[in-house]
Structure 1
């Protein structure tokens, strides 16, 4: 099985200070420590040296008023990078339409929402202007809409909220991160009903002692059946294990060449509309 040239569809390449703040929060909640540099240049170099040809940079705004500047930073970085595909974000208490319009005008290829942290859901009416613009501009949307790792009691996540988005915006390519854990089977049912729905593998499928999910519970047939709708992602650099752990278990699977290519490349092309 061939990893390179891969697309990593779930990377958090952000200003160093923000990366350090995110890690502080994650470390406090989960007790993790982080071995990867928070420096943006080092992050990109690690990805490229591993065989990543393209990566999606996913910002998210945990408070009002920060999204526009964060989006500008990501867009500026992407303009100088041959590998970065910039996404944007918006907080539900911002001027949603204006922030998203400016980001799309600046070249953002999609939107990212960390639902439990941002306290918004995939069917949040406050975000309707963002979703409408995504539909108008043919932009993609990626949600942390699953209950893992610490959000089983959160009112902002769950397969029903994700399914509601798919019903309202059936032509928008939309991804749930982390294989939809801990409701993976239910999210796979959504994929079966909607060709524009996707999952990414980030963290959930890692060969790591830190992952509270049995990756072996996902049969190879899932990657064959949903080839073109399941994308490789890593959550890099905010992972407590080596980057190779994100792909090791996937590469060890006995998948067809078509499913392998879809996992590491083709599904991302479909998600981004570049196929």
Structure 2
């Protein structure tokens, strides 16, 4: 397996072998990664340019490790043994979400191992296009409160949250305040949504970074809430925003509600480093099996033979 820091540059075959070694040693059929990014090429180019410029929502150098064409990125995940993944995409202004949803529906249709992903923005008509996306087979939604800069309690979203809760459709939300806080990040605004819609299957991205403790509280209060591991515990994040180690017993207690996320391809290290960082917590193989595969398989109804 590669070094813990993931800073080496193994050839493609060696890298894939290292990832496969990880999940095979756990007796898993592969990985399920609920936080990967695929989006229209022109949008992704702008996202990468923002990372290259270390924009204000990033506030530090952030090299993209997997800056490759779409087909190459899909092939890499398959080589790693990722059985299912998402196309996390998000609007930053009105008028984008329905178009992004159309693109994502097409991507899912031609990429059967991608969980059909959709998104929304607080705007007139949001409930309509969210209902259409669900009807068209969307299995997970993305809500990026940091980039979108919107209040999740906006009245335009009341019906949206209701639809997602009623249908049991998970929504992965960047609602924590890392790497840079936004006007509506933190547990307060999204917590108000959960008070109105307690059955909402909310997946808190990045373990709620930088509000780790507060989002653990939220998960413990709301049984439908999950957490994804995206970038948490990696050297890159731990340098500036470390997870409080005294809270690890609580993370172990939430074993059945923590999901593997990576942020692939927009990560500044090799993919295996996220996995090794999780293993390094010492929470045990049962926890790793649940996080890296079984919890997401149960949430999305993915069978071993799929």
User: Same fold judged by TM-score > 0.5?
Assistant: yes
2:148 is matched with: 118
Q: Secondary structure at the match of 2:35?
A: strand
Matches within 5 A, 1:128-139: 128-139=158-169
Matches within 5 A, 1:14-163: 14-28=39-53, 29=55, 30-151=60-181, 154-163=182-191
Aligned partners of 2:120 and 2:230: how far apart in 1? 22
Bigger shift: residues 68-77 or 218-227: 218-227
Q: Secondary structure at the match of 1:260?
A: helix
Shift in Å, 1:270: 4.5
Q: Greater CA radius of gyration, 1 or 2?
A: 2
Q: Cα deviations across residues 9-59 of structure 1 (Å, max 9, x unaligned)?
A: 101111222111111112321332213134221111111212211112211
> Contact 1:203–1:211 (CA<8 Å) still a contact in 2?
no
Count of aligned positions:
273
Shift in Å, 1:123: 2.6
Shift in Å, 1:274: 5.9
2:284 is matched with: 256
Shift in Å, 1:202: 0.6
> Contact 1:6–1:51 (CA<8 Å) still a contact in 2?
yes
Q: Any gaps of 5 or more consecutive residues in structure 1?
A: none
Say whether 1:225 aligns with 2:250.
no
Aligned partners of 1:235 and 1:146: how far apart in 2? 15
Aligned partners of 1:64 and 1:248: how far apart in 2? 39
Shift in Å, 1:110: 2.4
Shift in Å, 1:136: 2.6
1:178–1:218 CA distance, 2 compared to 1 (3 A): farther
Q: Cα deviations across residues 188-233 of structure 1 (Å, max 9, x unaligned)?
A: 1111111101111111222437852224736542332111111110
> Contact 2:141–2:171 (CA<8 Å) still a contact in 1?
yes
Shift in Å, 1:108: 0.7
Shift in Å, 1:114: 0.8
1:240 is matched with: 268
Say whether 1:8 aligns with 2:33.
yes
Q: Cα deviations across residues 53-83 of structure 1 (Å, max 9, x unaligned)?
A: 1112211011221211211111111112231
> Contact 1:198–1:271 (CA<8 Å) still a contact in 2?
no
Shift in Å, 1:258: 2.4
